Amino acid sequence: MPRPSARTVIASTLSVGLLSASACTVTGLDKAIKGVPEAVSPAATTSPPRTPAAAPTLTEAQARAALIGADDLGEPWVPTEGGATWRDAMLKASAESADCGRLLDALYTEELFGPDARTRASVGLDDEWDEAQLRYQVVAHRTEDIDRTLAWLGGLPDKCGEFTATAGGGTMAVEVSEAKMPEVGDARQGLRVVLSAVSESDGAPTLTLHVAAVRVGDDAIAVTNGGLGDVPADATAAAVELGARRLTEVRKRGRERV
């Protein structure tokens, strides 16, 4: 039975989302930064500077509304039934290089933006056909820290293009390459990570992971899609494309100041 394209499944949803986004009105902040009066009265010059407002943040409900689900990707994706067995067997690993070890730790703990970032909402999905597993997160962090993580990820194909990792007493050959990303959000980075068990056996497992990170304003999304079999890139791209646009729409509809 041929696999339906995840991009096809979400095409109509994206069209509706783009129309909704284009209809948004200009916010009060946009109006406030367009300029200053041509003349300033003497009294105004002695006024104390305005205290910057607290940084706005998504509510928990808004973060959940920005998630994607199994219905968005279509068949064969379903809500997850639990962590995949390869997570402990192959991702709980170490490497001599600090950057390469940091990548493995981030993939295992699902903290792509580091332990200081706050996961506001997350969802796990399973591919019933190929037994892949996708993890999607909406993350809150400082903009400069998000961009610093994206820059770090972008440098990994050069720093960790090929390296050796150790897991459970076994050895793995790891390859890291850049992955093409949809042009969404304000900044983005994608990776393809392949971990191959080094063994004389022909049946030694190979784990393929698609990794994607996107900054949308001062929020971010993180996507990992991995499995021991076929890991369709179109599902990863669809999750990133739809998820980034959904987060953009949620941010435009309303924010809570804290």
201: pLDDT strictly greater than 80: no
Given the structure tokens 């990992």, which residue do they identify? 224
Q: What is the pTM of this model?
A: 0.77
Mean pLDDT calculated for residue range 174-191: 96
Give the percent of the chain with pLDDT over 70: 76
Q: What are phi and psi of 254, to 5 degrees?
A: 170, 145
Given the structure tokens 């993939």, which residue do they identify? 107
Q: pLDDT band at 255, cuts 50/70/90? A: low
Contact 105, 120 (CB under 8 A): no
SS3 of residue 6 by DSSP: helix
pLDDT given for residue 7 in this prediction: 46
Helix (H) or strand (E) holding 77: strand 77-79
For the chain, what is the mean pLDDT? Answer: 81
Q: pLDDT band at 46, cuts 50/70/90? A: very low
Strand ranges inside 16-155, DSSP E = 56-57, 77-79, 94-95, 118-127, 133-140
d(CA 196, CA 198): 6
Mean pLDDT calculated for residue range 150-154: 98
SS3 of residue 209 by DSSP: strand
Of 20-24, 89-93, 122-126, 130-134, where does mean pLDDT reach its minimum?
20-24
pLDDT given for residue 4 in this prediction: 53
185: pLDDT strictly greater than 80: yes
Lookup: tokens for 72: 């968005």
SS3 of residue 142 by DSSP: coil
Q: Which residue has the higher pLDDT, 59 or 195?
A: 195
Q: pLDDT band at 202, cuts 50/70/90? A: confident
Q: Give the pairing of strands 187-197 and 170-178.
A: antiparallel
Of 27-31, 89-93, 111-115, where does mean pLDDT reach its minimum?
27-31
Sorted by where each starts, the structural domains of the chain and their CATH numbers stand as 6-20+54-257 (3.40.1000)
